[in-house]
Structure 1
Amino acid sequence: MASHFEPIPGGGAAVALDEVEISILRSLAVQLLELIGPGDEPVEGEDPLAALFAEGPSEPPTDPALARLFPEAYAGPDADEQDEELRSLSAEFRRFTENDLRSRKRDDALTVVRTLDSLTAAGDGGAVLKLTADDCQHWLGALNDLRLTIGTRLDVSDEDENGELYRLPDTDPRKPMVMAYLWLGALQETLVETLLP
């Protein structure tokens, strides 16, 4: 998996992907969509504008990966009793922002799935994915969310920068996830580089 993004005229980016890479990226994006959950559609006959102002949850998610994707705004997970005011502020902030954040994350992951689904395979089963500048922004968001999710599942921390996690034996069941985590990081880095002036 040595794919990397390159700039294309018009502000977009392109990357050559083989069948396996396409399959992995699509599978990860679909799993991310399942983790984030479906969007709330307005009830038939209701004002769609009212749905935009619907209040979201006030409690942080219990799933560690979701908690990483939708973190507390003011109080961290280890806040103690003295931080009750910060918890209250975080709950209020979450209530008015999480629905929009979920929607954006869903849009990012859906863009990944749709752009991959639109690929026409070359003779070797691979294809060149060409993204518009707008698609690039969605891909950056989705790649970041995928890395945060996988990193949380692997329990990656700042101390793991050159740690044992990256030197796992091939027999370790975490090895494929570590490889995916590193590959997604390389894709994200090259996509960022293509977008820099």
Structure 2
Amino acid sequence: MRARITMELSLLEAAHLSDLVGQFEEVVADRDGSDPAVRRLVPDAYPDDAEAATEFRRLTQDDLLSRRAADAAAVRASLRRDGIDLDLAELDRASAEDVLVVDLSSDVAGAWLRTLAALRLVLAERLGITDEEQEDGGDARFGVYEWIGYRLDLLVRELDA
């Protein structure tokens, strides 16, 4: 993995991604074990033993979700422009197309990989996606799911270069 990589996103993309990561942070902070998205982020270690799976989740869930929250915070911090979170409501048509250059260390790139993958898991759960061949059914959120996958793929390719 390369020591540093640079990515470019339009301000519109960066603002949307920052908003999505903020929503993800809320899901992770809530830690609602009955939320299927949280359960998907903390899968059962013992699918054939409910008691062992419950105990394992009890012992590991808080730590895992805390690490996911820290990763998400690192991603949001890297999406700031001049130290300020991007706000979709404040972007006009001209500035939305401006480019945000994101310089990532290998540690922050790792946080990006984990966060984008986790975001896709949450969206997949919310959309009822169970496999990659599934059609979108006309739900506009499916496009967001695909876009995050596209960004994740670009990041993986850049890290492997």
**TM-score category (smaller protein):** 0.7 to 0.9
Aligned counterpart for 1:164 among listed residues 121, 135, 142: 135
Question: 1:12–1:38: structure 2 CA closer, same or farther, 3 Å change rule?
Answer: farther
Contiguous gaps of at least 5 residues in structure 2? 87-94
The correspondence of residues 46-61 of structure 1 with structure 2, limited to 5 A, is: 61=33
**What code does the residue aligned with 2:37 have?**
A
Paired letter, 2:77: R
Match of 1:65 in 2: 37
Q: Is the 8 A contact 1:119 1:129 kept in 2?
A: no
Provide the residue aligned with 1:17 in structure 2: 9
Cα displacement (A) at 1:118: 4.6
Match of 2:46 among 71, 74, 78: 74
Show CA shifts across 1:126-160 (max 9, x none): 211111111000000100110000111111112x5
The structure whose Rg is larger is: 1
For residues 26-69 of structure 1, what are the alpha-carbon distances to aligned partners after superposition, in whole Å with 9 as ceiling and x for unaligned?
00000001011169xxxxxxxxxxxxxxxxxxxx8211111111
Name the CA distance, whole Å, in 2 between partners of 1:119 and 1:183: 25
- Residue matched to 1:48: none
Instruction: Give the counterpart of 1:143 among 100, 108, 116.
Output: 116
Amino acid paired to 1:88: E
Task: Give the ranges of 4+ consecutive aligned residues of structure 1 lying more than 3 Å apart after TM superposition.
Answer: 118-121
Identity of aligned residues (%): 32
> Alpha carbon RMSD of aligned pairs, Å?
2.4
Q: Distance in 1 between matches of 2:19 and 2:13?
A: 10
Query: What TM-score, normalized to structure 1?
Result: 0.68
- 1:89 aligned to 2:52? yes
